[in-house]
Amino acid sequence: MPLISTQGHRVSVSDACEICGTSIRYVHYLDNEEHLSNVAVGCICAGHLENNIEAAKDREKTLQNKARRRVSWMRRTWKISRQENEYLKVDGYIIVVFPRLNGWSGVVTKDDFKRFLDRNYATCEEAKAALFDLFWAARENEKEPPI
């Protein structure tokens, strides 16, 4: 029964691996149709369950990198566009945050790619944080080989 890693995210330090109980910093979700559906485990157990330590370690590295990038993202100084919106240029992407209705929205663009935040956020900071996820997902998709 192969276990397929789906995604991972950072968890609080009090979270524990569902297999061994060790406290974990990043959770790896493994999907299995039979019984271990969407089990949340740490890097080591993920590697054992998948029978692929290297894949688990690579994923752990990606999660660490993402967490680091998220911190620096929030510390960046955003520039002001001619339309007087705050924007960033990162890895060829242009990220713009702007007021919309009673809140904040934003957009990530690169060449033909253009994706807006799917909802409004109460504060500019929240919109910027959501834009990081949008930017990161776009960057991850870019790395996938075309089907």
Nearer to Zn ion, 47 or 106 (CB): 47
Angle ∠(132,27,43) on CA atoms, nearest 5: 120
Nearer to Zn ion, 20 or 74 (CB): 20
The distance of closest approach from Cβ of residue 67 to Zn ion in the complex, given in angstroms and rounded to an integer, is 19
CB-CB contact of 80 with 89 (8 Å): no
Residues 1-30 that bind Zn ion (CB under 5 A): 17, 19-20
Angle ∠(75,68,52) on CA atoms, nearest 5: 165
Q: How many CB atoms lie within 10 A of CB 87?
A: 17
Residues 45-64 that bind Zn ion (CB under 5 A): 45
d(CA 124, CA 24) in angstroms, rounded, equals 31
The distance of closest approach from Cβ of residue 43 to Zn ion in the complex, given in angstroms and rounded to an integer, is 8
The distance of closest approach from Cβ of residue 16 to Zn ion in the complex, given in angstroms and rounded to an integer, is 8
Nearer to Zn ion, 45 or 130 (CB): 45
Contacts to Zn ion by CB under 5 A: 17, 19-20, 42, 45
